Structure 1
């Protein structure tokens, strides 16, 4: 019977690792890329549900009307959640040597423990066992924010996240260029409004840094309404800046959409090749 790694060299156990059957099966359950079927494994489905429930709990806990009088209940629930995530963390650390990305031995374990996803996991676990009673307000907010970071754990369960990161890396120069153009246009717009609107509203446009707040809100099409030009010439320049901002906002969106589509198509073709099939989307050569 073929295992979860058949035909997938990138998912084979790391060299030098004597894989035990249980550890290998557990790795397949925990690692989404190793799961041979569509969707998530049963274990990751359970982790997904726990993450969503605990994130909702952490958000609700920030409401004083809900938390007051129920501090003990919330703490007990957090301890239970922390125990669940501790078991998950230890299981992922134990099976990390099965992942060729980390490698065998203690070095592989160290690579996993210092990876961003493992650090986020560890922070959320520590936050679960911190009692919020008696904490200073800023520490209380920091602990609650750490608990909401559990949502970041969902990124490892979706191939779309890896595709998005791959798309951003592939188009990093185009994205940096669009960012440079946007910042240049923003500074230029703020400078114009400083020139024509500054005398009329020195508190809002009396300097280029002050005018930058208006430029940021205008070019991102947010328009808070707290700062706006009142002179005819200032309104003309503001209208021109707002129209230009629409195109600048759309530029990185188009770049990311094209790159993301290319990444998805590339991985789909790789999966077809790994399965030994043919990509039906490819053009058929003339006989």
Structure 2
């Protein structure tokens, strides 16, 4: 086995028939989570002032680690299945969404050493949460979930259409009933839409609310409809997740059976 093929198997999820995580995969996950944790806590001035040197060392280590990982993925890209020249496959990885995320994480990790502006540094540290997106490398199940959601795109579209219709009906009702009484909040349908969204999602900030009996009736229907509409996509997502996990278990079982029989 060549070094490139071995490296590809170690850093790419799905290279093993049972989909298990390699030791390097687990190390990468730990480094991603640690980088995000450091990026989050370093936005607290008290912690940053007390642990500035340690945080700087950690950022150097994270930046170097993610740079090495990024270069390793480019180096091992020719081992990906499919047609194309080695450099063509490398270029395809660099341009892919996950490749661009990897590059962004590397740049964000190393940028503080080249930018002196304090405000920019705080923003870059906050952007370290991009590291979480790299976990997509290690979750074949996520691909299954996205596939299941695409299969239910029509159901989700229907839910979105129902929600939009209820928002427009509620906003129009309050505009008609209380537009003259509360012009700041309900003087137009776009203004009333803010109230409709907050009511539909059951957040209820309290900055805008109906004051007439008819307006309260409309608000009640919007609130009750919101409870029902929130439950619909939740059920769709749950069913999609269940189907995805079942397909994943079946795929792993088939792979193990082929190994045992072969």
Q: How far has the Cα of 1:172 moved from its partner?
A: 1.8
Matched, 1:224 2:214: no
2:178 equivalent among 190, 197, 212: 197
Matches within 5 A, 1:200-279: 200-276=181-257
SS of aligned partner of 1:62:
coil
Matched residues, number:
257
Give the conservation status (yes or no) of the 8 Å contact 1:48–1:154. Answer: yes
2:83 and 2:228 map into 1 onto residues whose CA distance is 43
The residue that corresponds to 1:149 in the other structure is 130
Task: Say whether the 8 Å CA contact 1:190–1:214 is kept in structure 2.
Answer: yes
1:134 has 2:116 as partner = yes
Q: Larger relative contact order (C-alpha < 8 A, sep ≥ 6)?
A: 2
Could you tell me which runs of 5 or more consecutive residues in structure 1 were left unpaired when the two chains were aligned.
Answer: 1-19, 278-287
Q: Secondary structure at the match of 1:131?
A: helix
Q: How does 1:1-287 map to 2 (within 5 A)?
A: 20-37=1-18, 39-68=20-49, 70-100=51-81, 103-131=84-112, 134-135=116-117, 137=119, 139-276=120-257
Q: Which has the higher helix share?
A: 2
Residues 25 and 124 (structure 1), Cα distance of their counterparts in 2 relative to 1, 3 Å cut: same
What is the TM-score of this pair, normalised by structure 1? 0.82
- Alpha-carbon deviations, 1:119-141, whole Å to 9, x = none? 1111111111122763163x334
CA distance in 2, matches of 1:29, 1:214: 52
Which secondary structure state, in structure 2, belongs to the residue aligned with residue 228 of structure 1?
coil
Query: After TM superposition, what 4+ stretches of structure 1 lie above 6 angstroms from structure 2?
Result: none
* Alignment root-mean-square deviation, CA: 2.2
Structure 1 residue 176 displacement after superposition: 2.1
Deviation at 1:110, TM superposition (A): 0.8
Instruction: Say if 1:102 and 1:112, in contact at 8 Å, map to a contact too.
Output: no
